[in-house]
């Protein structure tokens, strides 16, 4: 039923190989944290200097769509976690269904996000291309929207990569590549998906909830 697990020659056994893969993935995730962290540092420095402008700008974001999207992404993480669990137990069909559900929710997130971009564009909130906001803090509000588009854009690119990855995983699961003896790609894919989710967990309050009172 299952293929023999291939152990590369530098490893003693499949368990050591899997532990090495897990460690490698976490080291990669640490580089991602620092790469994405730089954007958060830029955001923090700007917000400390322009608190009023960030409060006004945050009220111009679409709270309804942003909140729904947060729920969509949190649910996708549940689907991903359940898929990893199913794969470990050898429940192939359930694993594929959960992977596809993850991908569908990821696509729904991107669909809502791009709807939001369209509304921002319609409201003339896109820096450089069409930014028409006037008032005492116009320049600083534009800075906020630079950060908004850059941070959510980088996040969306990560999510897009994640969706492609999840679909490939579903295809490989369909081809019976994974079993309780070998599920490393699904497990590592799950770690990546959850990290992208965590990035959004921080983006949501920083961009949408600065000041709503």
Partner 1 sequence: MITHPVPAIRTYVLVWVGLIVLLLLTLGSAFIPLGWGNAAINLAIAVAKSLLVIFFYMHLRSAHYVLRIAATAGFFWLAILLGLSLTDFVTRY
Q: Which is nearer to partner 1, 82 or 170 (CB)?
A: 82
| Contact region with partner 1 (CB under 8 A), list: 44-52, 108-116, 131-139, 168-176 | 44-52
For the beta carbon of residue 26, count every other beta carbon within 10 angstroms: 12
Backbone φ and ψ for 137, nearest 5 degrees, come out as -115, 25
Residue 153, interface with partner 1 (CB under 8 A)?
no
Q: Which long-range contacts (CB under 8 A, 24 or more apart) does 45-51 make?
A: 46/140, 46/143, 46/144, 46/147, 47/206, 47/210, 50/137, 50/140, 50/143, 50/144
According to CB under 8 A, which one of 30, 157, 161, 164 is a site residue for partner 1? 30
First to last CA, the chain: 60
Q: Which residues pair with 125 in a beta bridge?
A: 131
Taking CB under 8 A as the criterion, which residues in 81-110 touch partner 1?
81-82, 85, 88-90
Residue 77 beta carbon to partner 1: minimum distance, rounded to whole angstroms: 6
Residue 182 beta carbon to partner 1: minimum distance, rounded to whole angstroms: 9
Residue 194 beta carbon to partner 1: minimum distance, rounded to whole angstroms: 5
Residue 211, interface with partner 1 (CB under 8 A)?
yes
Residue 37 beta carbon to partner 1: minimum distance, rounded to whole angstroms: 4
Block residue for tokens 């006037």: 134
Site string for partner 1, 46-65 (x = CB under 8 A): --xx-------------x--
Residue 110 beta carbon to partner 1: minimum distance, rounded to whole angstroms: 19
Instruction: Quickly count helices (H) and strands (E) in the chain.
Output: 6, 2
Residue 112 beta carbon to partner 1: minimum distance, rounded to whole angstroms: 15
Q: What burial class does residue 127 get, using C-beta atoms within 10 Å of its C-beta: 0-12 exposed, 13-18 middle, 19+ buried?
A: middle
Residue 3, interface with partner 1 (CB under 8 A)?
no
Q: How many angstroms separate the Cα of 176 from the Cα of each of 30, 85, 87, 90, 198?
A: 31, 16, 11, 10, 30
Taking CB under 8 A as the criterion, which residues in 155-194 touch partner 1?
179-181, 190-191, 194
**Cβ(18)–Cβ(184) under 8 Å?**
yes
**Cβ(66)–Cβ(201) under 8 Å?**
no
The binding site for partner 1 (CB under 8 A) comprises 2, 14, 19, 22-23, 26-27, 29-34, 37-38, 40-41, 44-45, 48-49, 63, 67, 70-71, 74-75, 77-78, 80-82, 85, 88-90, 179-181, 190-191, 194-195, 197-198, 201-202, 204-206, 209-213
């Amino acid at each position: 039923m299952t293929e023999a697990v291939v152990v590369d020659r530098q490893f003693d056994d499949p368990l050591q190989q899997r532990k090495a893969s897990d460690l490698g993935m976490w080291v990669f995730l640490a580089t991602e944290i620092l790469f994405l962290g730089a954007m958060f540092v830029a955001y923090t420095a700007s917000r400390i200097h322009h608190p009023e402008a960030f409060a006004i700008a945050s009220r111009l974001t679409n709270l309804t769509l942003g909140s729904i999207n947060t729920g969509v992404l949190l649910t996708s993480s549940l689907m991903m976690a359940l898929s990893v669990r199913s794969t470990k137990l050898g429940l192939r069909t359930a694993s594929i269904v959960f992977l596809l559900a993850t991908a569908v929710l990821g696509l729904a997130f991107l669909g809502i996000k791009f709807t939001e971009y369209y509304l921002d564009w319609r409201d003339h909130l896109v820096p450089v291309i069409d930014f028409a906001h006037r008032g005492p803090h116009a320049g600083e509000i534009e800075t906020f929207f630079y950060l908004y588009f850059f941070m959510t854009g980088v996040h969306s690119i990560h999510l897009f990569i994640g969706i492609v990855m999840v679909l490939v995983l579903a295809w490989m699961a369909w081809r019976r590549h994974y079993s309780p003896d070998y599920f490393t790609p699904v497990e590592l894919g799950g770690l990546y998906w959850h990290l992208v989710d965590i990035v959004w967990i921080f983006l949501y309050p920083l961009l949408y909830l600065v000041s709503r009172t």
